[in-house]
Amino acid sequence: MKISPELMTIANMLTLFRLVCSPVLLFMAWHGYGIAFLLLLAAAFLSDALDGLAARLSGQVSDLGAKLDTYADVTLFLTISLSCWWLWPQVVRQEAVYVAVVITCFLLPGIVGYVKFRAATSYHTWLVKCALAAVGLSLYPAFLGGPVWPFKFATVLCVLAAMEEIAITIVSTQLHSNVRSLWNVLQRGNASKK
Phi-psi region of 175 (alpha: psi -120 to 50; beta: other; left: phi over 0): beta
**78 and 112 assigned to the same domain:** no
Which one of 87, 103, 134 terminates a domain?
A: 87
Please write the tens of the pLDDT for every residue from 86-144: 999 999 999 999 999 999 999 999 999 999 999 888 888 999 989 999 999 999 999 99
Residue 193 in this model has a pLDDT that exceeds 60: no
Query: Which domain covers residue 59, as residue numbers?
Result: 1-87
Which one of 70, 87, 104 terminates a domain?
A: 87
DSSP 3: P
**70 and 112 assigned to the same domain:** no
- For residue 61, what pLDDT is reported? 81
- For residue 4, what pLDDT is reported? 64
**112 and 193 assigned to the same domain:** yes
- What is the DSSP track for 83-143? HHHHH-HHHHHHTHHHHHHHHHHHHHHHHHHHHHHSS--B---HHHHHHHHHHHHHHHHHH
Residue 168 in this model has a pLDDT that exceeds 70: yes
> pLDDT band for position 47 (50/70/90)?
very high
Residue 78 in this model has a pLDDT that exceeds 60: yes
**45 and 14 assigned to the same domain:** yes
> pLDDT band for position 194 (50/70/90)?
very low
Across 64-93, average pLDDT: 91
Residue 192 in this model has a pLDDT that exceeds 70: no
> Total structural domains in the chain?
2
As a whole number, the mean pLDDT across the chain is 90
122 three-state secondary structure: strand
**119 and 169 assigned to the same domain:** yes
* Amino acid, single-letter form, for residue 19: L
Please write the tens of the pLDDT for every residue from 144-163: 999 999 999 999 999 999 99
Lowest mean pLDDT among 80-89, 164-173, 175-184: 175-184
177 three-state secondary structure: strand
**75 and 121 assigned to the same domain:** no
- For residue 21, what pLDDT is reported? 96
**102 and 183 assigned to the same domain:** yes
**125 and 175 assigned to the same domain:** yes
Strand partners, 37: none
Which one of 87, 109, 133 terminates a domain?
A: 87
